Amino acid sequence: MEGDAYKLAVDFKPVVNLLATQHSFKFDFSPYAFLVKPSSNGTWNVSADLSPSGSFEFMGPEGPQSIQFSIKDSKFTGVYDTELAAFTSATHSTAGMTMKTRDTMQRAEVSTGAGTATMNATQAANGGVDFTATQTIADFAETLDFDDPKSGLKFPLTIKSPELSVNATGKGMRTKPFLDLLAFAVANEDEAKLKANQAQLKSLLLAALPLWERIDGSYGLKDVSVESPVGHFGAAELGTSFGSDGIAQNGAINYTIKAAGLTIPPNLVPAWGTALLPTDINLNFGGANIDLDSMAKKAIETFDLNNNPPLPADFGDQIKADFMTKTPKFIIGHS
């Protein structure tokens, strides 16, 4: 206890030790804690004041990879509803963030200034949770250093933007079934026990479908500056958006890529060609009539953890054939 609130400490060391033993995976993450206080209406007030940092090291397909990160002055407050298995409201702020990644062909350093985020959720009409989330981050900067020894390609890039924004909305997110699956995984960590209880696992997986009814998100940068060996590129606005139905019989996926106020180095094209270059781009494409529901249910019904592999050798071909009989469509929208 800390005052009138419960203190929940999170320490990743046991999980880290298990992963390191089984998968040659190194993971170091600073412990942190939440304060949780019950309310009279059955919800819980949750808060945290921390500055997490950590690192990952693992063997990727092309060789060793590593990630290091640090978040400064991170503060979180939220109201958690156990009936919805979700935060009905939450706010988060940070003073800044740094991250370094490295693999055999690329090194990257990312830094940001102050950031804020908010999230709200309500009970969905058809079950699950509807939510909205927004995030704004100042002073985004990323330095990339490409060095491919196979091709000899080697060049640096520096990307900067004074403002990065992220927005997301979701309908019918199946938060409670997700928690039920997590609880099952914790309770059935032993392989023999998991195999014995796979009927319950299948039931929980079916209950989680369609995962969500719809999720949409967007990511945007303002006044983008890109410094490269061939000169300076820029854009007044640069962004992408994505939308996806859940596991449905007639689902849809949508992508949009937008750019406004594009500029390129003057030496890349002849002077007469500058007027022919687009300054704004709006690309829309996606898919429709996508039946993931039948595929997911068939996979859940078919798999058997007592077999190795759990699915028959020809299962992939069966799923592909079934998928194509529904005639999924690739759509290019007005651009």
**Cα-Cα-Cα-Cα dihedral sign, residues 81, 86, 89, 95:** positive
245 CB-contact burial (10 Å; exposed 0-12 / middle 13-18 / buried 19+): buried
From the CB of residue 270, how many other CB atoms can be counted at a distance below 10 Å? Answer: 9
**Alpha helices (runs of H) in 12-124, residue ranges in sequence order:** 13-23
Instruction: Concatenate the DSSP letters of all residues of 212-238 into one string.
Output: -SEEEEEEEEEEEEEEETTEEEEEEEE
Per-position pLDDT tens, the chain of length 335: 677 889 988 776 666 666 665 556 777 777 788 999 999 999 999 999 988 888 888 887 778 889 999 999 999 999 999 999 999 999 999 999 999 999 888 899 999 999 999 999 999 998 899 999 999 999 999 999 988 777 778 889 999 999 999 999 999 999 999 999 999 998 998 889 999 999 999 999 999 999 999 999 999 999 999 999 989 999 999 999 999 999 999 999 999 999 999 999 988 888 777 888 889 999 999 999 999 999 999 999 999 999 999 999 999 999 999 888 888 999 998 76
Cα first-last separation, the chain: 57
**Alpha helices (runs of H) in 231-325, residue ranges in sequence order:** 293-302, 315-325
